[in-house]
A and B are shown apart, each in its own frame.
Chain A
Amino acid sequence: MKLPMKVMSVAAVAAVVASLAACSTGAGSGADAATANLDARGPITYVQGKDNSGIVNPLVEKWNADHPDERVTFKELTDEADQQHDDMVQNLQAQNKDYDVMSVDLVWTAEFAAKGWLQPLDDAGIDTSGMLQSTVDSGTYNDILYAAPVTSDGGILYYRTDLVPEPPTTWDEMMAMCPIAAQNGIACYAGQFAKYEGLTVNATEAINSAGGTVIDDEGNPALETDAAEQGLQNLADAYANGNIPAEAITYTEEEGRIAFQGGKLMFLRNWPYVYNLASTEGSSAVKDVLGMAALPGTDGPGASSLGGHNAAISVYSDTKATAIDFVKFLTSEENQRFYATQGSLAPTLSALYDDEALISELPYLPVLKTSIENAVPRPVTPFYPAVTNAIQDNAYAAIKGEKTVTEAMTDMQNSIESAGSQ
């Protein structure tokens, strides 16, 4: 009698671990929900991650002033992408009708759409004709538009104009310039190579830029090709011969930016946000010699990975007519301009990239346009978490030289196949 009691009390302590995964899975049948409440109007909620640049509240206030009967409430989630994802999944699974409009990271779009949680927008009258095609692709799953592109993002190659007068246009050109960095006692090139989402971005950029593809149009992995292999081989070779410095294997966006701003790096692949900091911060050693170019490819601009957020409507919303109007409001030219000037968030409307007034404020826009025009969305697949894990694990091992690139590609291919056939 005494022993079982003891065992039970110990079991109670250990049981907390098991409760980790004990979230209930509701049957997520959204097929009927997608046709309901299409004409209903009323107050709605807009859900988005932390509003770091303080632009959502002014927009919501503007909307509310014009729509007193269809007020928008802004629900702000955390800063962390994973936590935003998990919060939305929980609420959609619980069929919460208060999550009317959500700001969905483009890599979640396919997963949410395949779960039947997103309202198809093909008949909603959202004008995508003026938008950059790659951003529209990022909101599309199975040829149906599920999310309207609101903001975009693309990779930029930052370089030192004092060391490199003319930026490289191809990867081979860039590697050929690396002796200049060595002569000046600094490292040549870095991106984001720590094992996290940033590595998926960099590895898929390398694969796409070399002409390969991660997931083909049918949704199957297509990694065992010479082109795809060459892409990853470029990174592995550069790491092996020191063109990518050893410490870059621990770099996320910030470590790379700090090294570049400290004058320790000649080329840096990063997002547009670096421009403001590197050109204005007092501690920046590259303030006056900061150059920007499109990412280098095989024989022209490389294929950037696309970033950004799309606005999607929950199928469980009970006020969809208002929700659709609000999505149109978010994607309007006026508000896209507001996003760009107030929040430094890249617009999705093509015309804004050629707008002189906007370019004088955000000088990186022309380069970014080239980047986004050539961008490939990260693999559009409902199994994105498994796919990104497969890419990260194997690309990391291949860059570090722990396995050959050929092995890494085979393992990546098999892992993604397993993910799709659970």
Chain B
Amino acid sequence: MSTETRARSAEDPNNPKSTGRSPKSNKALKEVGEDRRAATQGRWATILIAPAIIILGIVIVYPVINAIIMSFQADAGLDPETGLFTEGGFAGFSNYTGWLLQQCGGPNGTTVACSPGTLGAQFWEAFGTTFYFTIVTVALETVIGFWMALIMSRAFRGRSLLRASVLVPWAIPTAVTAKLWFFIFAFQGVINAVFNTDVLWTGSEGPARWAIIIADVWKTTPFMALLILAGLQIIPGDVYEAAKMDGASTWQRFRHITLPLVRPALMVAILFRVLDALRMYDLPQIMTGGANGTTTLSILVVEQIRQGFNAAAALSTITFLIIFIVAFIFVRFLGANAVDAATTSTRAG
């Protein structure tokens, strides 16, 4: 819409001949010209968009489709005669049922329930772990991030310094963060030394999960805070002033002005974080290696890649669908709209 208007106003000066004609013929001429212009514009739009579409097709559509095709092939099996691998052939849905129903290969081509120690047996546990991490970390990050954003939006001395320094954890690569926290949570590490405790942080389920949650919250809360801060900045100051004149308390102003007006930005921030957290890999991989109930779906995918590509393709397709459904729920029912919110903030800015 806005592009069209801009394009038209830009083209008008290129048509000086249109001035001085009779209004009627002028109008007719203009209509013909606009039709042609629209057609030219359509062609140009196609040409200009094409490179982006082609690149998206190569880096996104092709791998996704290829992964889906692979997920219906069986992984290579061993020929007992030669000891060499042979192609697995068409597998139907067996890769998918392998994960979802936890069926593994048994003797003589039968299927048996996956026993602990196979990756198949870990699917539902990894599914639960992934959602546990997602819900807990995003909830904590939202609350703490909101609080940090409220502080940062105030005018005070050293505000820019604070805003810049808050970003430091976010700027550190995740792998480095993970290694730092790994040493902090080691048995002879900083935490046990400072608090004079003997907790085996990476040695049992509860502490291991919380070690990862703490590291993740430390790292990504600044990102959340900045997205919320951007939302807070577009709320005009006079709305608050008017509310104050009407005698609204601080809580009432927060509840009835800040929250509703920051909601679009907040929902987008939460959506991004949820999608991010659902594919969490580096932190648990480096801090615990997936031990003690910290194996996420992404860790499972990477481990399966080493054991067989096709079952891994099925698992990553399942992960893709799970994330897709979560994103769909967010967009459809909770009103998170990344595209609209971006447009709004651009206009406001």
Contact = CB atoms under 8 A, between A and B. Distances in A.
B116 A417 contact: no
Interface string B220-242: 00000000000000000000000
A207 interface: no
Contact of A12 (B56, B85, B290): B56
Given A17-B298, A421-B107, A25 B331 contact: no
Contacts of B313: 21-22
A283 interface: no
Contact of B60 (A16, A24, A246, A410): A16
Contacts of A422: 74-77, 88, 105, 308, 311
Interface in A163-210: 194-196
B306 interface: yes
Interface stretch (B149-157, B158-166, B251-259, B317-325): B317-325
Nearest to B187: A247
| 6 pairs of A and B residues whose beta carbons are closest in the complex | A415-B117, A22-B63, A195-B291, A19-B63, A18-B320, A414-B115
Interface size class of A (residues with CB under 8 A): 35 or more
B283 interface: no
B25 to A, nearest CB: 37
Interface residues of B, number: 79
Given A19-B60, A28-B85, A116-B85, A10 B106 contact: no
Interface stretch (B11-19, B26-34, B35-43, B332-340): B332-340
B9 to A, nearest CB: 26
A10 B291 contact: no
Given A386-B307, A422-B88, A422-B105, A255 B187 contact: yes
21 contacts: A9-B339, A15-B320, A17-B298, A18-B67, A19-B67, A25-B70, A115-B85, A116-B85, A194-B291, A247-B200, A247-B203, A250-B186, A250-B201, A383-B307, A385-B303, A393-B117, A412-B117, A421-B109, A422-B76, A422-B88, A422-B308
Nearest to A16: B60
Contacts, number: 199
Contact of B275 (A13, A249, A383): A13
Nearest to B91: A422
Contact of A114 (B78, B302, B338): B78
B312 interface: yes
A24 B310 CA distance: 10
Interface of A: 3, 5-7, 9-25, 27-28, 82, 85-86, 113-116, 141-142, 194-196, 219, 246-247, 249-250, 255, 258-259, 382-383, 385-386, 389-391, 393-394, 396-397, 400, 403, 410-412, 414-415, 417-422
Given A21-B305, A393-B116, A417 B107 contact: yes
Interface in B155-205: 186-188, 198, 200-204
A10 B331 contact: yes
Contacts of B66: 22, 24
Given A7-B328, A12-B60, A195-B292, 20 more contacts: A5-B339, A6-B337, A10-B338, A20-B298, A20-B302, A21-B301, A21-B304, A21-B315, A22-B66, A24-B66, A114-B83, A142-B82, A246-B200, A250-B202, A382-B85, A383-B78, A383-B307, A393-B116, A418-B106, A422-B308
A85 B85 contact: no
Contacts of B101: none
B327 A414 contact: no
Given A421-B106, A422-B75, A385 B70 contact: no
A389 B60 contact: no
A385 B63 contact: no
A22 B311 CA distance: 11
B49 interface: no
B112 A418 contact: yes
Contacts of A13: 275, 327
A389 B312 contact: no
B137 interface: no
Given A141-B83, A415-B118, A422-B105, A85 B306 contact: yes
A15 B321 CA distance: 9
Contacts of B288: 195
Contacts of A23: 305, 309
B290 to A, nearest CB: 7
B279 interface: yes
B64 interface: yes
B63 to A, nearest CB: 4
Given A9-B338, A21-B67, A418-B106, A14 B203 contact: no
Contacts of B298: 17, 20
A255 B307 CA distance: 29
Given A20-B301, A22-B70, A258-B188, A418 B327 contact: no
